[in-house]
Amino acid sequence: MELDKRPPGDGGEGCLVGVVRVPVKIVALIVVLPVRVVWDLLVAFGRAARRHVLGPFSTYVLQPVLRGLGRVLTVLLRLVFVWPWAGLWRHLLQPLYAHVLAPLGRGLYAHLLRPLGEALARVGRGLAWAGAVVHRYVLTPAGQALAWTGAAFYRYLLRPLGLGVYRYLLAPIGQALVWAWHVAGRIVRAVWRGVRLVGWVLIGLPAAQLYRYVLTPVGHVVRDVWRTVRNTVREVRAEVRKALFGGPAREPARSRARTLGSTTAVGETPSAPEISWRKRG
């Protein structure tokens, strides 16, 4: 009958966990605890001051004083900016406009501006008639002659010349440029493939090897050390809280550190596979 062989559970901690946890506990007890106590006292003092001093002072002293100052400033602004200008408009500008500027403007319009406008209107109607005559008997025939000349010039000279230049000069040059562009594109693609291959051999492949065989193991070690430090600080805070306020110490969610190079936490043993009595026999 075979015995049930199970791997012995490792209840201890790794060397790295023990070396890091003791200094972290000492630092947390000497530095973190006093700072946390002072911070809690300052928070309580601030809340009490806001509730019993600043609140009543703002309600019964500061707000009435500010309202009184606002009323005084309102009256002063009215005395300086509103009432003088209102008095100036009512007692000086409005009478001046009603008794001087308005009669002067009406007389100027009736005896000067209106006759001048009528004279300018008459002059404009003579000029409009002359412009119509010039447009009908001079500008229209001249424009028609220029339009006919331009159409003939385009039809019999510019159009054949443009077609010849396009067919025998621009089209061959464009085809040559397109061919050169395609050839240059192929050359550039080939050069780019070579540069990319050289870059991968000289830079990409060494960087990948460095990341895979150097940076990844170092990152795993740093991650495990950080987890150990964080869990140790949480345990110290729980113990200090228990010592000061009493009650059972709450274990952090991730208090059990993982050993380097393993996926199980310290103190956990993988359960052995169940073996039936028949197989054991």
pLDDT tens per residue, range 53-81 = 887 888 888 888 888 888 888 888 888 88
Predicted confidence at residue 7, as pLDDT, reads 42
> What 3-state DSSP class applies to 258?
strand
pTM summary value: 0.30
State in Å, rounded, how far the first CA of the chain is from the last one. 5
N residues, the chain: 281
Share the mean pLDDT of the chain: 78
The pLDDT of residue 96: 86
DSSP-assigned states of every residue in 61-104: IIHHHHHHHHHHHHHHHIIIIIHHHHHHIIIIIHHHIIIIIHHH
Are residues 30 and 274 in contact, defined by beta-carbon separation less than 8 angstroms? no
**What is the model's pLDDT at position 13?**
53
Q: The tokens of 195 are what?
A: 């540069």
Instruction: Provide the CA 196 distance to its chain's centre, in angstroms.
Output: 34
- Cα 84 to Cα 78: distance, rounded to the nearest angstrom: 9
- Token pair 């008459």 is found at 122
pLDDT at 192: 92
From residue 125, alpha-carbon distances to 130, 140, 153 in Å are 9, 21, 40
Tens of pLDDT, residues 94-103: 888 888 888 8
